[in-house]
Structure 1
């Protein structure tokens, strides 16, 4: 194993700078970011100047060919996740790919197969898994404190939170709106806490009611005239073990709160909300609520990058696995398919490795 991880960055936009690069810097001498690639040369050069990156490219394939790299962060729009990740894996690099895994379940499957055949790490940027609330609740779930978890609820909702930057409202480049952007975070968190059960049936609906007209935006002014994604998605997932999960996600909806990101679990022996963390049980003929007195304060992205580096240097498996990525992408695509056809989608047998 190498002592210093040589990192390349594919896509030099906001997520690369604000989540990946600043946290690679915190890893100290264990990491050296040596190359960055972005199709916009000015963006790549500016990023390289800010973070003192010696090699700059407009073509990531040239970067992979000309620079010796151990690992790569893929921070492109969703459309380019699969080709960039596959190219990096085939070049012998470990890969941290931003969420969602890809545009389709078939792409996610090819990514997983490539990682397996290359013998390299492939993991995804589900940084909420690294939240202290999630880590604590996972220990409680695994210890049986909630018993059989048979129902859950996922909320990733914004009142007027359509991004006014990037390509988040471009269906061709992103594959969808809030479901594939913010909803995927809470969906993955719920599945992770539940042990990634095998899905059975999916029913979904999507709406475009507010995003395609001019309005107030708390995340900047968006291009409402070219808004091509849903502004709300709702759905239900039934798993083969009988459990069900209700999902609601929106960039824009007439709600009280400006934003809510949360997962609720209900089990035979107890239930829980994740943000803020609360565990609800019945003990000694009394209904009790349990809340932590203290939680670590390290940032979610910082912990994610730190663990990715640890995995690359030691060969240990990251929290998010390629097979889980396939199941998650299958669910996202099935929700969109159901919304388009108006019919529930029966899923073929696809199992994820639970953790």
Structure 2
């Protein structure tokens, strides 16, 4: 591995141009963006010109064959995560794939197995793990300040936040709606703070009440006539260690807050809300609240990209692992299946094509 990581981009859309490329550029000499590929070749050309990227391609396979790359960011719709990630791993590249890991368990498992066989890093774009609030709370958790975490509330709620761009409302390309798009962020953050316990049973419910009719959009106008995802999802997850999570996620719901992304932990030694960070404890016969007066200001995405680059250069374990991605995908798929059948899903018995 060279001292400068040669990076390729698969997908030249908003997440690539707005997040990945600018933050690779902030890495200075540690990273060099060598190429970009997009099936819409004109988008790859535009991206290459905008950011002075020397090579552009209409298909990522051509890029992987012709460029000597060390790492790849996969910035495609969810449907293409598996194919692109596996191709990059087999080409000898480390991979940072945008969330969610994939469309289903089988794909996430194939991706993890390929990374293990190739001896390469496969990590996911769960940038809320890199938030200063998350890092601070994780230190408290690891120090035993919260004790045994047994109850968690997860909220990823938008009042009218259906994206009016991209393919976010297309189930075929995305695999689902708010649960797999924004709910997965807060669910991963909660699981990370809990040290990713082994899930046991899930019970889910999904709703399509507001997204399939014309309405006020706070994130642009959406194609309500071709709205094929849920606009709200709810779920309960229980774990083998006795802990449980209650999850709420929406693109559109009749609630007060315009946007809420939060995790609330309850343990036998303390509790916490994450955004903003507040810690609740009993000390010396007194109930106390702890609130930080200063936290680092570096951006979540900037830290995510910087740490991915460092992990690749130093051959260290990334903050988000491929195996955690498989666990997360099992939970998400279990919740969707439970919502379809109306029955709780025991994940030990949740086997599809031989994969648990």
CA distance in 2, matches of 1:349, 1:314: 39
Number of residue pairs matched? 350
Report deviation, 1:2: 1.1
Query: How far did 1:11 drift?
Result: 0.5
C-alpha distance in 1, partners of 2:124/2:105? 14
The TM-score with structure 2 as length reference comes to 0.98
SS of residue paired to 2:218? coil
Q: CA deviation at 1:305?
A: 0.2
SS in 2 for 1:348: helix
Does structure 2 conserve the Cα–Cα contact (< 8 Å) formed by 1:265 and 1:272?
yes
Distance 1:231 1:49 in 2: 37
Alpha-carbon spacing, 1:349–1:8, altered in 2? closer, same or farther (3 Å)? farther
The match for 1:225 is 225
The aligned residue for residue 61 of structure 1 is: 61
After TM superposition, give the deviation of residue 42 of structure 1 in Å: 1.1
For residues 75-95 of structure 1, give each alpha carbon's deviation from its aligned partner in whole angstroms, at most 9, with x where no partner exists: 000000001000000000000
What's 2:301 paired with? 301
Residue by residue, what CA displacement relative to the aligned partner does 1:323-343 show, whole Å, maximum 9, x if unpaired? 000000110000000000000
Pairing 1:173-252 to 2, within 5 Å after superposition: 173-252=173-252
> Structure 1 residue 58: deviation in Å?
1.1
Determine if contact 1:151/1:243 at 8 Å carries over to the other structure: yes
Q: How much does 1:293 deviate?
A: 1.1
Question: 1:213 deviation in Å?
Answer: 0.1
Deviations 1:296-339 (A, max 9, x none): 00000000000000001000111000100000011000000000
Which residue in the other structure is 1:262 paired with? Answer: 262
| 1:26 to 2:17 alignment | no
SS at match of 1:201: strand
Counterparts of residues 59-208 of structure 1 (less than 5 Å): 59-208=59-208
Separation in structure 1 between the aligned mates of residue 105 and residue 193 of structure 2, nearest angstrom? 22
Alpha-carbon separation, structure 2, partners of 1:122 and 1:29: 22
- Return the alpha-carbon distance in structure 2 between the equivalents of residues 82 and 238 of structure 1: 28
Output the CA distance in 1 between the equivalents of 2:210 and 2:42. 34
Displacement of 1:349: 8.3
Mapped to 2, the partners of 1:41 and 1:74 lie a distance apart of 16
Offset at residue 30 of structure 1 (A): 1.2
Partner residue, 1:353: none
In the other structure, the counterpart of 1:342 is: 342
Residue 348 of structure 2 aligns to a residue in which SS?
coil
Instruction: Report the CA distance between 1:67 and its aligned residue.
Output: 0.7
In 2, the alpha carbon distance for the partners of 1:132 and 1:47 equals 31
- Quote how far apart the aligned CAs of 1:44 are: 0.7
Structure 2: runs of 5+ lacking an equivalent = 351-356
Q: How does 1:5-20 map to 2 (within 5 A)?
A: 5-20=5-20
8 Å Cα contact 1:198/1:349 also seen in 2 = no
Cα offsets for 1:17-50 (capped at 9, x unmatched): 1110000000011111011010111111111011
2:353 counterpart residue number: none
Rounded Cα–Cα distance in structure 2 between residues aligned with 1:197 and 1:291? 27
Q: In structure 1, how many angstroms separate the alpha carbons of the residues matched to 2:95 and 2:176?
A: 24
My pick for the range that moved more, 38-47 or 162-171, is 38-47
Equivalent pair of 1:182/1:249 in contact (CA under 8 Å): yes
Runs of 4+ in 1 over 6 A off after TM superposition: none
Is the contact between residue 154 and residue 190 of structure 1 (CA under 8 Å) also seen in structure 2? yes
2:312 is the counterpart of 1:312: yes
Q: Distance in 2 between matches of 1:235 and 1:341?
A: 14
Measure, in 2, the Cα distance between the counterparts of 1:19 and 1:186.
Answer: 19
Question: How far 1:221 moved relative to its partner?
Answer: 0.2
Distance in 1 between residues matched to 2:85 and 2:43, nearest whole Å: 20
